[in-house]
Structures are given as structure tokens and as C-alpha cells.
A and B are shown apart, each in its own frame.
Chain A
Amino acid sequence: MIKIVKRDQPSRAIFFLTPILAIFLTLVAGGLIFYIIGFKPFEALKFFFIVPIADMYGFSELLLKATPLCLIAIGLSFCFKSNNWNIGAEGQLTFGAIVSGGVALIFYEQEGFYILPIVILAGAIGGMLYASIPAILKTYFNTNEILVSLMLVYVSKLILDYLVVGPWSNPEGFNFPETRQFSDSARLPILFEGLRIHAGIFLALAAVVASWFIFYKTYLGFQMKVSGFSLKTAKYAGYKGKKMIILVFLISGACAGLAGVGEITGPIGQLHREVSPDYGFTAIIVAFLGRLHPIGIIFASLIVAITYLGAETAQIFMQIPKYTGQVFQGMILFFLLASDYLLFFKIKFTGLKK
């Protein structure tokens, strides 16, 4: 007989094991889906998860995609830990890209060591500004942050579209929806000749270290975690709830904005219509899969980044639409949430009852 028993307290071992279980179940379900639509499951999974990262170039591409995911997810972990549902990181990324792109265009064809830091800072500020909208509306007008941050995603993409088609479009660009190329001084340096991986990865690593320090070594991090567990306790302890909400949104906006900077000043070097293939949404999954833990998020961003590459290879070699990547991302989150059941409940095999 099988009996389900509630655990006295969540199991810590299972807390870190369930993400692995979730990934395994996703692979099984993914293979099943490939089988249903008429492919050999193992071969398809190989094309999806192994072929894309089999060489140096592929590995560099993996890091390239994992960088923004990791950066945004680190920022989101601040929000999610303190129970703030910022799901508009995609908008904060886009707005950060717009502001930093605008600043980079001011320095068009100029040289100077000071340009890149200003451009990076502009991106972080842009992301913060955009994240402050849902934060302020939540704290002072009691407005649902989920819906506001999400609506702002659509708005930011339309602002970007307006700018690259209209006032900021390249005058010599034959009406392509893109700006002029930024000057080299406004670009994040490429790390290895012939690969696309750029210095943005250091921004992500810095964010990982900083977030680890804030979470586990400061009083502020402690306050955030307490507010996440119970708002009542936080209030009772006298924490400034409103300031906390605004702060976590600003942190997460800054991270998303920096991810936006990396996207436009890295390999591309200009603003164009699609600065991000929904990194802001995917990073939500990364944050959960990484258990809102800085180290976990590094691993999670690498794993989820494969779904982007896999979707591209699968599109080229198997003519499967690239949206398949999203199917996998959705499934990972489903299975992760489902396996959390094991955190709180034990399944006991009690043998046959007499």
C-alpha cells in the first residue's frame, strides 16, 4: 500500500534534488512529444540538448545566452524571495536597452574609456526606472504588480519599435528598423577572437557574488527573507515594508537593465527591433529552477540556455518551430512545481495491509 504523509518540516535534501528530478522528467516528456510528432525521441533530444554545445563555438553561444538569463534571474530572486511578483523583467530589460542605447548613440563615433561605464550605468538606471513604476504603484496605490509589470512589457517593446523605426533609425540604413552602429568605445569587449561571448558575463558573475553576499551576510538580506516568509512577522519586527518592496524592484530592474546593455553593446552593437528573445520571461523559470539561490541560478541558467540553442538547431535540422524551446521551458517549471510536493509530503510504502 502507498500512504502519503505530511512531513513535519520541508526536507532540505529534496529541496536541492527536485530540480534534477524536474529536468529528468522534462526530458522524458520531451522525448514523448517528439515521438508523437513523428521523430525518434533519442535522436531528437540529442539534436536539442547535445549537438548545440558539442564544440567551442556552441559552448560560447551557451554562455552568451546564459549570461542575461543568470543576470535577470539573480535580480528576480530578490523580488521572489520577498514575495513580490515582478514578472515584467522583459520590459525592464527592453527599457534598459533603450536608455543605454540612447546614451551610446550620443557618443556616436567618439572614443574614450569613460563611455562604456556611462553606457552600462545608463542601462541599469533605465531598468530601475522602469521597475519603479510597478513598485510605486504597488506600495502607494495598492495596484497589483503582476498585471502592471506585465502590461509594461508590451509598452516597452512598442517604445523600442517606435524609436528604431522613427527618430533613432539609421539615416544611412535604407529604412531598416535599426539604429546606427555604436562606437567601439561603447561596446562590451569580445572575450575570444571568433566567438561571440563578451565581457557581459562578468556583470552576471558580479551580480551572483553580490546577491550571495546580500542574502547571506547582511541584515537587509535577512529582512527580505523574513518578509517573504510572513509579511505579518516582518511588520511586527518593524521592518520598513514599503521601502523593501521598492528596493527589491529596483535591484531586479537594474539587473534586467544590465542584461539589456549586454544584448545591445555585445555582439550586435546597435539597437534593433528584437533585443531579447523573451529572456525576461524565461529568467522567471531560471530563478525558480535555481531555487532562488545564487549558485543554483548559475546552473539553472546554463540548463535553460540550452533550450534556446536546442530550439534553433531543431529548427534547422528537423524543421520543428523554435517555439519548442518554450514548450520545454514550460514543462521544466510544471515538473519543478509538481516535484515540490515531495518537499512537504512523504510517500510511504507500507506493505500490504492485513
Chain B
Amino acid sequence: MIIDIHFIGLIITSIMASAVPLILASCGELITERSGVLNLGVEGMMIIGAISGFAFMTVTGSLFIAVIGAMLAGVLISTIFAFLTQTLITNHVATGLALTIFGIGISAMIGKNFVGIPGKEFPVLFESLKDTIPFLSPILFGHSIVFYFAFALPFFTNYFLKKTKIGLIVRAVGDSPESASNQGINVKLVRYSCILYGGAMCGLAGAYLSMIYTPQWIENMTGGRGWIALALVVFSTWNPIKILIGAMIFGGLTIIQFHMQAMGVRVPVQFLTALPYIVTIIVLVVISRDSRKIRLSTPSSLGKSFYKDN
């Protein structure tokens, strides 16, 4: 049997492409969670990013403005969450759910006028190098700038958290807001910033979906990716490098279902579609079984409100 090495290269490329939104959203959420805030609104922020990116692109015609606009929209919507949870000290879980429900609704409302409009071609980098090396070049070359950014992001995030002073502050706030506050750190400010950063990354993840991955607007097009991104953060035990691995596994599951259908494997299509969700549950069980390990790696104040009397 001849294994077409070029074909395998293409499959890996498509797996990487479908991993991009997961990496972006998870890395953003990871920073938020590391500061002690559990934002369950990832799905909502992503869908807002998706419609904003597409809308800005259609209206202004500029891809650059569209990408920035999507990120700002993510920031804007996450500001609601930040204000509620940090200033008004609301429950993180309930507020995050509200954010997701609201986001899906408002995106469909904005998106009404953008259904059926074709997207634009997003420029790719290093296209001329695409056919130079048989296996490697489709993996390495000819992708959008967002693609490269996504694969660099886990390493940046890791460096930021472990080696920089601000990263240390973020971790301190997440592990013990009381001590951090006693050290003169403005806990509220740090958490606000981390929430808004998470919003920006989720917005970018959404924009990737509607502008690059499948360039069009469809209602509810994130289809649960936001929730899988949340699961990935647990899977990674709050370690950005492991997000990369997890996102590739889930990207792989998405891509494999297309290929299995194409090869005529006689499994109901619904089962293949359900696979990523089922695998998420199994993986969560395997990871969480060791409660000590989870307790050690979870930011200690995750999901707990912090209130300081003035």
C-alpha cells in the first residue's frame, strides 16, 4: 500500500486549520482563568467576534479593520461581564451563561442583513513556497497571519505567565487575591484586564471562523466550539502548551469525520458529529479523576468573587 505523503501533509494542515479557533479562544480564556475569573461566555464572545468581523469586512471592505473590529467587539462584550462580576460582584457562572445567551441572540440580530453574502479571500503568507517541499511545505506555508499567530500564541502565553512580572502578578491574583491585594496589587484592575484580553482572543477566534475558515456568516456558526475551548483549558490543566496538543486532537476529530464520510465508512453521520463532544467528556473524566492533581493546577480562587472594603 502506497501512503501518499503529500496527502497526509494536507490532512495535517486541515487539522491545524480547524484547531486555530480553539487555540485562540482557549489561550484567551486561560489567562482569564489564571487571574481567578471563570468566564463561561466564550461561545457568546466568539459568535460576536464572528459576526462583527464579517460585518466590518462587508461594510468597510478592509480585512485589517475587520479583524481589529472583531477583537474590539469581543472586548466590548466582555466588558459587560467584567463590570458585572468585578464591580457588581455577581456570580461568574450565571453571568457567563447570560453572556452566551445574549451573544447568540444579538449576533443573529446583527447578522440578519449579512446572511448569504459571500466572504472575501483572506491573503496568505509564503504562498510561493507552498510546493517546494513535498510533505512539509503545505503545513508550513500558505496560511493566513491569524493561523501563524495562533500557533505562536501558546508559547507566548507560557512565556508571559512564567517569565514576566505581569504574568506573575496575574498568577498571584488568581491563586490568592487577598495576599496579592495586601501586596498593593489592584486585584480588580488585573482581573478586568484579563477578562478583556480573553474577550479579544475569543473575538479573534470568531473572526477566524467567519472570515478565513468558512468565509460567510451563518447563524450560530460557532456550533459549540466555545464550550470545547473551555473544556480544553481544563484538559490543559491551565498549561498553555498542552492547549496546543488538545486543540490538535479536537481539530483532528473534526477533520477525521469528513474523511471517514468521504471514504464511505458506514457509521451514522450523527455519531461522527457527536464524537468531539463525547471525547471531550471522556478526556475530562480522565484528567479530573486525580482530584489532587486538579486541585494543584487549578487557580485557587477560580470562580470566586473578591471584594475589598474601602
Contact = CB atoms under 8 A, between A and B. Distances in A.
Interface string A122-156: 00000000000000010001111011101110110
Size class of the B contact interface (CB-based, 8 Å): 35 or more
Contacts, number: 135
A325 to B, nearest CB: 7
Contact of A155 (B94, B100, B277): B277
A220 B140 CA distance: 61
B105 A150 contact: no
B91 interface: yes
Contact of A327 (B99, B105, B234, B281): B105
Grouping DSSP codes into helix (H, G, I), strand (E, B) and loop, the A interface class, with mixed when no group exceeds half, is helix
B112 A143 contact: no
A341 B88 contact: yes
B101 A326 contact: yes
A329 B99 CA distance: 10
Contacts of B268: 162, 166
B277 A323 contact: no
B117 interface: no
B105 A324 contact: yes
A107 interface: no
Contact of B284 (A147, A158, A333): A147
Contacts of B104: 323, 326
Interface stretch (B179-187, B210-218, B224-232): B224-232
A184 interface: no
Contact of A337 (B90, B106, B280): B90
A4 B132 CA distance: 67
B251 interface: no
A159 interface: yes
Main secondary structure of the interface of B (DSSP, over half): helix
B103 interface: yes
Interface stretch (A65-73, A190-198, A232-240, A280-288): A280-288
Given A85-B93, A321-B108, A330 B84 contact: no
B175 interface: no
Contact of B273 (A144, A158, A282, A331): A158
B18 to A, nearest CB: 17
Contacts of A328: 105
Given A329-B101, A337-B84, A154 B285 contact: no
Given A142-B294, A151-B278, A337-B90, 4 more contacts: A141-B288, A147-B281, A288-B94, A323-B107
Interface of B: 40, 80, 84, 88-91, 93-95, 97-109, 111-112, 219, 224, 227, 230-231, 234, 268, 270-271, 273-274, 277-278, 280-281, 284-285, 288-291, 294, 309
Interface of A: 6, 33, 37, 85, 87, 137, 141-144, 146-148, 150-152, 154-155, 158-159, 161-162, 165-166, 281-282, 284-285, 288, 320-321, 323-331, 333-334, 337-338, 340-341, 344
